[in-house]
Amino acid sequence: MSNHCFEKDSSELRGSSNYKYFGAAKNLKGVRELLFKENEDKKQLNIKKKKDARNFEKVINIHYFGYCDEANEHLLQQEVKIQKKLEKMDLKILKKYKH
């Protein structure tokens, strides 16, 4: 019998010992509660992850990536200054190579 068959029919508890329970052992009273609690913990963690992802989507929008920079007047003024400075530098370099 392959390991896959055993794994399909087993339940594993988290922790340092990683016990695996097979068949009827999964239905023992203490084991059943531990497995149920672990499943509930996993469900709660998944719910939290989904909630965090939704909150992330609310925060990350077009402004986060800077697509609305055209509306920022100060930024546009700085951009024009730097662009003029670079154009002057380019002209100096071109004049240097022409002569």
pLDDT string in tens for the chain (99-residue length)? 555 554 555 565 554 456 666 666 667 677 777 777 777 888 888 888 888 888 887 778 777 777 776 777 888 899 999 999 999 999 888 888 876
Residues 78 and 43 in one domain: no
Residues 37 and 14 in one domain: yes
The β-bridge partners of 60 are none
Residues 3 and 43 in one domain: yes
Residues 82 and 53 in one domain: no
Distance CA 45, CA 30 (A): 23
Pairing of strands 10-12, 20-22: antiparallel
Domain count, the chain: 2
Q: What range does the domain containing 87 cover?
A: 69-99
Residues 22 and 4 in one domain: yes
Residues 75 and 38 in one domain: no
Residues 9 and 34 in one domain: yes
pLDDT at 8: 53
